[in-house]
Amino acid sequence: SQKIEQNSEALNIQEGKTATLTCNYTNYSPAYLQWYRQDPGRGPVFLLLIRENEKEKRKERLKVTFDTTLKQSLFHITASQPADSATYLCALDNGQAGTALIFGKGTTLSVSS
Amino acid sequence: DTAVSQTPKYLVTQMGNDKSIKCEQNLGHDTMYWYKQDSKKFLKIMFSYNNKELIINETVPNRFSPKSPDKAHLNLHINSLELGDSAVYFCASSWTENEKLFFGSGTQLSVL
């Protein structure tokens, strides 16, 4: 069965460091991979989308890589700030009609000052 | 202006009751969804509608019935509520299928 794993449930880092979150998947062929941020008591908010033929995508301090051979995506936040503290969700989409995003359980990032 | 709004925010009810959650989006999107987030924070698709037509119906008990009166609204009705239905239910929308999702703020359902 399809499986998405985000490397750890929690990640603690110091302000200014780069946070790296991992998303691994098995038994799936995603056409797209998306990353979302979720704050407590709120709905997920879309951050970045990367396609299977793209290796890397950047947006301000965020960078996503996608390796379909390793079946893995890495999500980086550079120069992290306490305001980056949240849960980050990885989601896969096979691009076919009649299917929906499949989410990982998320990694909760805590950035301390 | 809230893009995807769902009501109520909190819903506390007794086992066996019937309840509804309403969702509206003002983004002009064609596709709307219901996701369930359980206590372990796992977000799982329940239903999806594209322009009022049901396109995804995951393995969900028949007690859950979605209704889309128009493409801006997707409501969720739950009959005979059970303890295991307690979760946070999120409505979401997207321009079409396979696009980024815009989520509502969630409805926390507690069944006592």
Q: What is the pLDDT of residues A55-103, one digit of tens each?
A: 999 999 999 999 999 999 999 999 999 999 999 999 999 888 888 899 9
Which residues form the domain of B41? 4-111
Q: Quote the pLDDT of residue A5.
A: 86
How confident is the model over A100-113, as pLDDT tens digits?
899 999 999 999 99
Residue ranges of B 57-96 with Cβ closer than 8 A to chain A:
90, 92
In chain B, the number of structural domains is 1
CB B28 within 8 A of CB B94: no
Per the DSSP assignment, residues forming a β-bridge with A92 are A33, A102
Q: What is the 3-state secondary structure (H, E, C) of A29-94?
A: CCCEEEEEEECCCCCCEEEEEEECCCCEEEECCEEEEEECCCCEEEEEECCCCHHHCEEEEEEEEC
Positive or negative: CA dihedral A101, A109, A71, A67: positive
Q: Is the pLDDT of residue B1 over 70?
A: no
Instruction: Tell me the CATH number at B84.
Output: 2.60.40.10
Domains along the sequence of chain A with CATH: 3-112 (2.60.40.10)
Rounded to a whole number of angstroms, the distance from the CA of B15 to the nearest CA of chain A is 24
Q: Which of B7, B36, B98, B107 to mutate to test the interface with A (most CBs of A within 10 A)?
A: B98
Q: Quote the pLDDT of residue B93.
A: 97
* Cβ distance of B106 and A41 shorter than 8 Å: yes
**Nearest chain A alpha carbon to B40:** A105
Burial class (CB in 10 A: 0-12, 13-18, 19+), A22: middle
Q: Quote the pLDDT of residue A98.
A: 82
How confident is the model over B14-70, as pLDDT tens digits?
999 999 999 999 999 999 999 999 988 889 999 999 988 999 888 889 999 999 999
